[in-house]
Structure formats: structure tokens, C-alpha cells
Amino acid sequence: MSGQKVLVLCLAVTAVVLLAAVAFTTPWRPLPDVPGGATAPDAARDFSAAEIARGRALAEQARPPVYLAMALSLAVTLLLGLTPLGARLVTAVARPFGGGWVWQVLLGGLALLVVGRLVALPFDARLEVVRRRHGLSVQTWPGWWLDLAKGFAMSSGLLLAVLVAFFALLRHWPRAAWPIAAGAGALLVVAISFLYPLLVEPAFNKFHPMPDGPLRTSLMQLAEKDGVPVEDVLVADASRRTTALNAYVSGFGSTRRIVVYDTTVQTATAREIELITAHELGHAKRNDVLHGTLIGAAGLAAGVCAAGLLVTWQPLLRRAGADSAADPRALALLMAVVAVVATLSGPAQMLISRRLETRADVHALDLTRDPEGMIAMQRRLALANRSNLTPNPVLHVLFGSHPATVDRIALARDWARLHGEPVPASPRP
């Protein structure tokens, strides 16, 4: 069987697995239809005009640096990958070290990553200025640079190691390399997700168990009531970077843990923290991290096969100045194809994420039976995090990982109507 036929078969199999997993495991309707129709989201019902304007102002100022960084990074990646410029850069940086294929992959890959990072850097700095201006960031510039350097070092180090192994496969088993890489990549996604709480998170935050007291006791009792085994609830020292409130669940199996920002512990009420934790327990009970990991693994496998079809296409190789996919000069083309595949798959990933977040909200309501408290909590989070309460619908579909605040508040009112509870009034003073 030819290499192209192997890739077509690989793509067909992985795509079917991915589509089936998404179709049958994504909670498309976390809440049943409400008699009389769903509550219409209305920011003005629960927030003042000044509060709405404040969130909109931050969004309008943050949008240009965020989207310009994304657009320019993609444009530069395509320029390097779809012209001989990338191949020349890969060859030039490896020449002082003998120009061997390993040096081309390591130094050429690093050069391509550095160029992409430098293009986005001014816009990232601008976004940090905007966040400081609106009181969201309290991080020092040395701390910001250190986080940037650590993030780049960890991600690029892992990627370069993967690229060396991948090009070694291509050179020795050109036909089998892509299916092998698809399977190995899927396993790597699972391993990274499992180890992330142990290896990555501690590099950026310090964690300590929530101190003994009424709050910790109530959260552990809530987890016990929910039937979710939780050994502890950890508190992250997020306050040295931000004033935002947050909590999350990461890892799965023996590395699963629920983390609450210290800003949340310090400023939210005990009931609000319970409701936030109930949402995270929803993720833990439904194994959403594992679910997302497996979907991501299947998506990566399909993406590798799709990338293989494009990178082995001779017209693209000639345009990129490479002889074959195993030629390290094709590295820039490979990165460009991966960037395009990742960009195109982004909206689907965001859609799945929003469905999982909605299901976790429903779980929190089922567990606490407190729609009024849920609405008050969502209001506090939105104000503390300077959320945009009237997001652009198109941008939200493309890039929103969570439902909009007004949608989550409307969901709480729909839950109350569905369960015969009094519909909460506006918590706005």
C-alpha cells in the first residue's frame, strides 16, 4: 500500500473515532427544554449600565492585542512554511554545527518558534498593560517575563524532543511514520494531561491544602454528598499575579485535584465558594478532564494524519523548498500545516468546552439546589473578573471556552422553573 493510501486510511479511521466520540459523549442538552421557552439572557436585568460598560471597555481594549497576536503569528508561520524562507532559516542556523539533520530539527525548530514568539511578544505585553489598567493583573514585570520564559522553555523543549523523534521515524520508516506518530501523539496527550498537575502547574504557582476550618469541612462534606472522592482541596497563590477569582479541576485518576485561587478564598463568601466548588465537582464526577483528554488525543491523531497528507504533497514541498517530508527543511511547512489545522479545529473545541461547562453548572444546581446563590456567585465572578457581559456573538462562538455570564444566569433561572423553584430575582443592588 502506498504512503498516501496509508495516510488516507489513517485519517478515515481517526476521523470516524473522533466524530463518534464527540457526537456520543458531548452533553449537547445538559438541561431539558423548559416549558414556555428558555429564559432570554439579559445583562441589564442583573447588572447596572456602569458594570456592563466596564466589562465592555476591557474587552474592547484587550481585543486588538489578542487577535493581532493570533493573526500575525499565523501569518508569519504561513510565510515561513509556504515559501523557501523557512527552509533557508532551518539550514542557516544549523550550518555552524555541521548542518546535520538533528541540528536542523533542533536549532531550526527553535528558530522558528522564537520568531513566532517574538512576533506576538509586543501584543502580549500590551495585553498585560490593559489588564493592569483595569486592575486584573498585579504581577511585576520581572515576574511576567519569568513566567513567559518558563512557559516558552517548557513548551518548546517538549515540542523539539517530539520533532526529533518524529523526523527520526520519517527517515527510517517513511510510510509507517505518520500512523505511528498519530498513535504516539495520542498517548502523549494522555500522559501530559495526567502529569500536568505534578510537573507544570507547580512551575507557576504554589499550592497548599485549604486550612482546617468550617469552609474546608463544608467543601469536603459537599464532595462526600456528591459521591466524588476528593482527598483535599488545594489553594493556589494566584494573588501574586491577579485579582481575578477562579477555581478549576486538573488531572485525572490519582493526579486529579480541585484547586481554588486564594483570591477566591479571600474575597468570596463561603456559600459562593461552595457553589464554585460544586461546579468543579461536576467536572470531577463526570471525568471531564479525562473526557477532554481523550477527545484531544483522538483529535491530535486525526490532525497528524491530515498534516501528513498535506506535508507529503509535492507541490507544497516544492513551494517550501524541501525535497521530502523527511527533509528537515520541511519543518517550517509542517509547523504551518499544524497551525492551520489547529486554527480550524478551534471553534469545535470551544463548542465542546462550553457544553461541558454548562453541564457542570447544571450539576452544581442539582447538588446545591440554590439557583439564587448560583446567580449571585456568577454576578460576583463577572464583576471581579471584569467579564464582558455583552460579548460579540461571532467572537464568542469562535473563541469562548465558557458560556457567557448572562447565559449561565439564564440557565439558573431555567433550572428553577424546571424544578418548580421560585425564579430568583435580580441580585443587583
Summarised one tens digit per residue, pLDDT across range 397-421 is 999 999 999 999 999 999 999 999 9
Mean predicted lDDT score pLDDT of the chain = 94
Percentage with pLDDT > 90 across the chain? 90
Stretch 376-380: mean pLDDT, rounded? 95
Summarised one tens digit per residue, pLDDT across range 105-122 is 999 999 999 999 999 999
pLDDT at 232 over 90: no
Query: In this structure, is the dihedral angle defined by the CA atoms of residues 154, 160, 166 and 169, taken in order, positive or negative?
Result: negative
What confidence category does residue 3 fall into, taking pLDDT thresholds of 50, 70 and 90? low
Summarised one tens digit per residue, pLDDT across range 343-368 is 999 999 999 999 999 999 999 999 99
Summarised one tens digit per residue, pLDDT across range 155-206 is 999 999 999 999 999 999 888 899 999 999 999 999 999 999 989 999 999 9
Separation between Cα atoms, residue 300 and residue 302, nearest integer Å: 5
Separation between Cα atoms, residue 134 and residue 386, nearest integer Å: 8
Show the cell assigned to 241.
499575579
Q: What is the pLDDT of residue 398?
A: 95
β-bridge partners, 107: none
Buried-state track 57-96, b at ≥16 Cβ within 10 A, e below 16: ebbebbeebbebbeeebbebbbebbbbbbbbebbbebbee
- Tally the C-alpha atoms within 13 A of residue 221's C-alpha that lie toward its C-beta: 9
Detail the residues annotated as belonging to a binding site for Zn(2+). Answer: 279, 283, 357
Q: What is the pLDDT of residue 44?
A: 96
Stretch 71-98: mean pLDDT, rounded? 96
Cβ(57)–Cβ(133) under 8 Å? no
Q: What is the pLDDT of residue 2?
A: 62
CA torsion, ordered 90, 93, 94, 96, to nearest 10 deg: 160
Q: What is the pLDDT of residue 7?
A: 87
Catalytic residue among 201, 262, 274, 280: 280
Stretch 258-271: mean pLDDT, rounded? 93
pLDDT at 264 over 90: yes
**Count of helices and strands (H, E) across the chain:** 17, 4
In the chain, where the domains are located: 3-418
Closest CA to 190 of 56, 292, 265: 292
Catalytic residue among 51, 226, 274, 361: 361
What confidence category does residue 1 fall into, taking pLDDT thresholds of 50, 70 and 90? low
In one letter, which amino acid is 385? N
Does 235 or 254 have the greater pLDDT score?
235
Q: Is 415 exposed, middle or buried (0-12, 13-18, 19+ CB in 10 A)?
A: buried
Assess whether 224 carries a catalytic annotation.
no
Stretch 58-72: mean pLDDT, rounded? 97
**What predicted TM-score, i.e. pTM, was given to this entire model?**
0.93
Location of C-alpha cell 439558573: 412
Q: What is the pLDDT of residue 427?
A: 87
SS3 at position 245: coil
Show the cell assigned to 43.
445583562
Stretch 136-154: mean pLDDT, rounded? 96
Cβ(233)–Cβ(217) under 8 Å? no
What confidence category does residue 298 fall into, taking pLDDT thresholds of 50, 70 and 90? very high
SS3 at position 126: helix
pLDDT at 24 over 70: yes
Cα angle: 149, vertex 72, 80; to 5 degrees: 90
